[in-house]
Structure 1
Amino acid sequence: MNPVAFARYLAGLSTTKLAKELKVSKQYISRLEQGIYDKPNKTVMDWATVELNKHYSQELTPVTVENLYRSWQWQQRESTKDSRNLKPVVITKYDRVSQAARNQSDSVIYYHQIFGQWVGSYWDSVHSFCVSMCLHPSPVAEYVEGRSLTMPNKLVEVLTRLELLGEGFKTNER
């Protein structure tokens, strides 16, 4: 379980009450509990550490709690890969033909479009993909929409570690 969510559960607090207590937004707490933040807020990590230490004999540090958070994120990602039976995103000869048919140059492959199609074959939206994979939606959406032609570093890291970047797929279109 996400250590922040678990600490909040142990404290018996709603997301609203915790957010008010820590002077952060309710949305921040909700998104942190979804795992989409790469670097959690220090105040929240300190609070979670104190709360968890009230219930365990082993003394935890904020660094340990942050490491537990990251470990939980990877467990979520691996579980998602397994439960959805994800196959790597690959470039096929049909991708070249499809893009040529849309009056796009044969020599250019729009990897962000292919990635967006891959996401769409497993999820209803980019946002639901990001929540499932514990990624912040904004940079991923920018990439899928073609506003950025370089895949976000965290997305590259996640897809590489999960072995979901298949044959011929490039993370930078330029």
Structure 2
Amino acid sequence: MELHPFLDALPYYEKWYQEQDRGEAMQLVEAEVVKSGGIRLPKPSPDDFTTPFKISERMQNAVQAAGRGEKLQSIDINRYINLQAPGNPGSLIQSAVALEYLRSREDNLELLRKHGESAWMNHIGSLEETLQNIEREIQTTRRETQACNRKRKHYQMEIGERLADHETQFSNLLLNSIQCRVAIALANH
């Protein structure tokens, strides 16, 4: 009797099913199909309930070797006995370069782990000091700019007053000159 592999593998399936049970189940299914207006199912063959399992070639060889009474090797260790360097001499040099790069990177990471925090804090401190120096320079430059602007304004005001005085004197001189010419012109007539 062929057993269904999926049913046999279920942990809660405790007893073997009988052909009589299968026949009764199929009769119930066929009766239900007829009631619902469906088509009648063909009678299943025992091959329908078996799943073909394909065994790999390596597993078949192992089964045959076990059948001949040979001891099975769990691991083939021959490939680990005669080791040879892969690739060519150039790849060996590349591997050495990569190894040195990784060692250098590891050294850098270790230095960063040991001294990174203090170096970072020192850098932040120097940046803060630079910022304070720049702020002081900005304040000094603003004061000097304001003083320069005041001096320029004072100079412009002073020059403006002198210019206004000179314009007044020039206009008075021009007016006096015109009056003299008019007087001379009237005196000559």
TM-score range, shorter chain: under 0.3
TM-score by length of 2: 0.19
TM-score, structure 1 as length reference = 0.20
Q: Which has the larger radius of gyration?
A: 2
Greater relative CO (CA pairs within 8 A, separation 6+): 1
